Chain A
């Protein structure tokens, strides 16, 4: 176990974590403001990735692809909110789960219909490809480093938006008391559409950014969606700060667990059983982490006590 390997894995964990944060931030905002549990958030991630792959294929520009991803996902989010989601705000959680599960089916099969079952590929732009050497002699891919930077920038932007702008004040007010801010003359249904589109846009951006290091395919959103759920449950539903810390925790636990748990078990087990036990445990590590957090604090690290 050299220092370089550990540093590289920590960076990988951070990169995974900030991408999860992009997903989790939207989910937690939507839950916090509208009280809606949105299983279709993973589909918006997929929409972003496909839009980016299509635009990158047509124009060759990665920047345009990112803009397309953001716009397509936000637009899809706004449409879905206006057609389906707004009928569900007052509905019980079961109905929300089902309706958004139905949306997953429609989005996935619709995308399969348009783009086919084969994965698409999104290339890393030339300017960001190749490794860079960090202080301490760590060689790390520039693109992944940019992802960390982009994620942190979005986190900062989101903090600024919610803490320092008028719309942010309305969003926070909406979390606390929706009747009151409606009475004060804020168009609540427009605010809801806006928040939903914002969350969807972030998910789409994450899909496009991650799509360049993985393949773009139908069903890519659901594994990430479930991880994002784990993140917001750990962080406390409705809290953006919680989503950020939860995302980093989950990203680091998952990445470091996968590398170090098998090594750890090798200290006192036969190598092949150690690898097997270690990797089995590593794949469950984040769920174990989540259960531990919930046993300790049933509404998450920064959640409001129910």
Chain B
């Protein structure tokens, strides 16, 4: 048994140590895997704010992941073809600068999350799950038929975008950027959990009626959580696109939304470190089991089933000996 705070330090140290070790023994692919884990963890940290704290089972978070990806793809595409982006009569230059791309990805995803949240939060329970799933499909099919940016084939970016003072083409330096953003998101998440907003949100998940009687609006609390959640997942999408230097409609696919939930549940719903542990384990399994058999999804399915049926609280729950919050 281990308390949650030392566990957090341990997990983050491990996630940092693996690529450093890989750097020492010159295994760049392991660094890429660690970067992938960090980015997926960031996306899942975003979803965990809606799912774990707000109790919003969103089966459409790939929307924000995809929006972040396409924000990066579109800006970088216009920069690499030297064509301005025409939108609402304005002519905007493309950019290859990560901070600008991150800002755009975060803002656009937040805006999309606001719109989707406003509509979806009129419903609850199963309807909420299904309407978020449907929004995911809507964006997916839109991306497929949007031929200006590659349609079904997606969009390739030749050179990874730049960050002032960092050579992003060196794997370990790009990893460091992703890791730093992950830590920032975890810090934000921890602060939110302790803040009055987080407490009110937890209450709104558990007993909306009581929250209402003390004068708070549960729907508005959940909407704010959904927007923050979408923004963080969108940022992760921009990083993911930069990692692969490629965006395609699969970033919007509902399997991805499902996998994000899977990451969280393996790690532990509503736990600070749940998404990080889940993402690391997922990437490890994907790489290791995927190397043994091409049917590795069967094993993932069985593991998932066992966790749902017998290990409520995920790995963090097992390690800390406490069941997680109920969603």
Contact = CB atoms under 8 A, between A and B. Distances in A.
A226 B138 CA distance: 11
A94 B51 contact: yes
Given A37-B129, A84-B305, 9 more contacts: A92-B326, A97-B59, A97-B258, A98-B265, A226-B137, A276-B147, A283-B145, A294-B127, A300-B127
Contacts of B262: 98, 101
Interface centre among A31, A92, A94, A291 (most CB of B within 10 A): A94
A95 interface: yes
Given A110-B298, A294-B119, A87 B131 contact: no
A287 interface: yes
A105 B141 contact: no
A108 B295 CA distance: 9
A283 B127 contact: no
18 contacts: A91-B308, A93-B57, A97-B258, A98-B265, A104-B301, A109-B301, A222-B255, A226-B137, A232-B130, A233-B127, A233-B131, A280-B145, A283-B141, A291-B119, A291-B134, A294-B119, A294-B122, A298-B122
Contacts of A94: 51, 57, 261, 265, 269, 327
B237 to A, nearest CB: 20
Interface string B290-327: 00000111101110110011000000000000000011
Q: Which 3 A-B pairs have the closest CB atoms?
A: A105-B301, A287-B138, A283-B141
A255 interface: no
Nearest to B258: A101
Contacts of A298: 122-123, 127
B246 interface: no
B309 A87 contact: yes
Contact of A237 (B127, B308, B327): B127
Contacts of B124: 306
Contact residues of A: prevailing secondary structure: helix
Interface residues of A, number: 46
A290 interface: yes
B57 A106 contact: no
A10 interface: no
A268 B59 CA distance: 37
B133 interface: yes
A110 B294 CA distance: 11
Interface string A206-248: 0000000000000000100010011011000100000000000
A111 B142 CA distance: 30
A284 B297 contact: no
A291 B138 CA distance: 11
B301 A103 contact: yes
Contact of A97 (B127, B129, B138, B297): B129
Interface residues of B, number: 44
Contacts of B296: 109
B126 A37 contact: yes
A299 B130 CA distance: 12
Contacts of A106: 297-298, 301-302, 305
A186 interface: no
B51 A288 contact: no
A123 to B, nearest CB: 29
A113 interface: yes
A287 B261 contact: no
B254 interface: yes
Given A105-B304, A283-B141, A229 B134 contact: yes
Contacts of A112: 295
B203 interface: no
Nearest to B147: A276
B207 to A, nearest CB: 15
Contacts of B269: 94
Contact of A233 (B134, B137, B138, B144): B134
Contacts of B326: 92
A31 B126 contact: yes
Contacts of A97: 57, 59, 129, 258, 261
Nearest to B298: A109
A99 interface: yes
Nearest to B145: A280
B79 to A, nearest CB: 24
B142 A102 contact: no
Interface centre among B261, B265, B327 (most CB of A within 10 A): B265
Nearest to B139: A284
Contact of A93 (B129, B138, B144, B258): B129
Interface in A276-300: 276, 279-280, 283-284, 287-288, 290-291, 294-295, 298-300
B134 A102 contact: no
